Chain A
Amino acid sequence: EAGVTQFPSHSVIEKGQTVTLRCDPISGHDNLYWYRRVMGKEIKFLLHFVKESKQDESGMPNNRFLAERTGGTYSTLKVQPAELEDSGVYFCASSLSGLSPLHFGNGTRLTVT
């Protein structure tokens, strides 16, 4: 089976610009998660979808971040406008059900200058 794919793998943008990250989960995985890792720190939870519904977005840092999962398939995470502290690696993961292993993509490394 195809794994979780993320696009782009790297993005360098200037402060104030907009960036959209995309995640294609494993087919059939209803659960989709976004996480972020800032250099040397823990992988922090951002939000969780079950199909197209946001189940938990308690980790979203502020209203500059908008996640969608139209149709319950792929998901996008938009950052607008980007700030310096948004730099980090954004990971997407999917799972078949709650309390089952997460399957991660390779991440998008975002650098805001």
Chain B
Amino acid sequence: GENVEQHPSTLSVQEGDSAVIKCTYSDSASNYFPWYKQELGKGPQLIIDIRSNVGEKKDQRIAVTLNKTAKHFSLHITETQPEDSAVYFCAPSGGSYIPTFGRGTSLIVHP
């Protein structure tokens, strides 16, 4: 099965700073790479995703970059705001169509 690792497990930044979370996966057949945001008391919600034929995708302050050769993809958040504080999960999937979640990264944005 897929092995997924996320780093860091906790990330503390000042408002306005940038945040980067990295996800490493093991299955070379993976071809769909989403990032989910989970707020307290809620289920994870998709914030951005990328497919294997694209190297980078951006949506306002959020971007995802993919390196298929090295088998990792990263979430980039610029100009962080307190409302970005949450737990972020990567969940790559591929041949089995079963998304495998990382352990999550707790992002704390200090005002």
Chain A residues within 8 Å of B, Cβ to Cβ: 4, 31, 33, 35, 41-45, 48, 55-56, 91, 93, 98-107
Contact = CB atoms under 8 A, between A and B. Distances in A.
A48 B41 CA distance: 23
Given A93-B43, A104-B44, A35 B93 contact: no
Nearest to B93: A99
A101 B100 contact: no
A62 B102 CA distance: 23
B103 interface: yes
Contacts, number: 57
Contact of A106 (B43, B99, B100, B102): B43
B101 A44 contact: yes
- Interface secondary structure of A, over-half rule: strand
Interface in B82-111: 89, 91, 93-94, 96-104
Contacts of A100: 32
A15 B36 CA distance: 33
B46 A102 contact: yes
Interface of B: 4, 31-32, 34, 36, 41-46, 49, 89, 91, 93-94, 96-104
Contacts of B102: 42
A106 B43 CA distance: 4
A44 B93 CA distance: 14
A33 B43 CA distance: 13
A31 B94 CA distance: 15
A44 B104 CA distance: 12
25 contacts: A4-B43, A31-B97, A42-B103, A43-B91, A43-B101, A43-B104, A44-B101, A45-B98, A45-B99, A45-B100, A55-B97, A56-B96, A56-B98, A93-B43, A98-B93, A99-B93, A99-B97, A101-B46, A101-B49, A102-B34, A102-B36, A102-B91, A104-B44, A104-B45, A106-B43
A93 B31 CA distance: 20
Given A91-B43, A91-B44, A93-B43, A102 B99 contact: yes
